[in-house]
Amino acid sequence: MFHDQKLLRSNAQSIFTHGCHFERGDDGDSVGGMETKDVRVSRRNCMAGILGAYASAATGNVGQAQEDLATLYVSDDIDRAMQKGIDYLVSIQREDGAITDRGHEVAMTALSIMAMASVGTEPVPVNPAGRAMYRAIEFVLDKRNQDMEGYFGSRDGSRMYGHGIITLMLTEVLGMGATPEQNEKIHRSLNDAIKLILAAQKVAKAEKLRGGWRYTPTSRDSDLSVSVWQLMALRSAKNDGLDVPGEAIDDALKYLRYSYASPIERDGNPRDSVSGFSYTPGTYHPSFTMSAAGLLAMQVCGQYDSPLVKGASEWLYEHPPKESERFFFYGVYYYAQGMHQAGGKYAERADRLVPEILLPMQRTDGAWLARGGEERNVGATYATALSLLSMSVRYHYLPIYQR
């Protein structure tokens, strides 16, 4: 169990009766008799869930009360798999702090940090994961990894993909640094990284490509896959209070709408009520991965009631993930987060399907690895971090994935 936190595995009556129970072990959860922040936050989240269930039940909304309680429950199988995955990432950490088994070392380290943070790990020296996370953040912040323009994607060859991933990670851990010095370094690095994303968005492009991003900061075209990472980074940075103009988010939303696979009518509704997103505007054939990515991107921008969100949720409900899917791990990550936020039948199916697919794929060493295709060449760090992020929806730690 993460930080030896344990929610009662019982029925609703037991939860209502006993509240939240956490067991502390011998690995540093209790410091000088005091609970660590991780334990306190989980206790607070658990109690918030119980109070929400009480309120829903009191107003007669039994279905919502049951959903509130369901979010408190994480199966032991998922817990064990998550712990094994985190242990794997810790075990492959290099002496310099990088977490990677193949290339793109800065981007893969950033993904690993996000995976650790998604289950409540903090970069503090109370346990192996906390120590590994601290060293990993220090590695990412090494001045050699970010050029004078603020760009992270050059040294490790991860391009704007990596830049968006790294920037998003830093926005999510801002304020979590183990020391004031580390927090200050995160803040300085973020300012330059955000400026680069904003400058790249302003590069002159054709109308339907404006507001998006592609492989390099000077690209004159856009694709949804790269753009989603930049948009999530901007949205998270804005939540942090960093300087992100509102028009940057608005321009990105315009690009997202152009990427919808069904043409948008003058009234703002898509021609087809059920559809998804495509890799580039003008491609009217939705794919699983891009539909999931577009869904999460719209939600991150607060567009929960958009007909595009409804249409993509329904399309994904009708086209659930398959292991044979191209870019399977990448797509499942977006699918798990986006459908969970969609709630209702969408969350119910995704919350069940994702562990059903991923748990049997985990190796005995705790890692995941694609069985073929382009993703296999990226390595086990990539697949493991995305699998952990996919199954982290019920832990409610990373703000960017919270509705």
Q: What is the mean pLDDT of the chain?
A: 86
Global confidence as pTM: 0.83
Question: Residue 20 pLDDT > 80, yes or no?
Answer: no
pLDDT at 403: 78
Contact assessment for residue 131 and residue 113, using Cβ atoms and an 8 Å cutoff: no
Contact assessment for residue 113 and residue 169, using Cβ atoms and an 8 Å cutoff: yes
Q: Which of 357, 358, 299, 288 is nearest to 326 (CA)?
A: 288
Contact assessment for residue 153 and residue 165, using Cβ atoms and an 8 Å cutoff: no
> What is the rounded average pLDDT of the residues 39-64?
46
> What is the rounded average pLDDT of the residues 69-83?
77
CB atoms within 10 A of CB 183: 15
**Cα–Cα–Cα angle for 36, 38, 41, rounded to 5 degrees:** 110
Contact assessment for residue 279 and residue 224, using Cβ atoms and an 8 Å cutoff: yes
Question: Residue 85 pLDDT > 90, yes or no?
Answer: yes
Radius of gyration, alpha carbons of the chain: 21
User: Three-state SS string across 278-328, please?
Assistant: CCCCCCCCCCHHHHHHHHHHHHHCCCCCCHHHHHHHHHHHHCCCCCCCCCH
Question: Residue 29 pLDDT > 50, yes or no?
Answer: no
Domain-wise residue ranges, the chain: 1-73, 75-401
Q: Considering the domain 75-401, what is its CATH architecture?
A: Alpha/alpha barrel (1.50)
User: Three-state SS string across 107-142, please?
Assistant: HHHHHHHHHHHCCCCCCCCCCHHHHHHHHHHHHHCC
Question: Residue 396 pLDDT > 80, yes or no?
Answer: yes
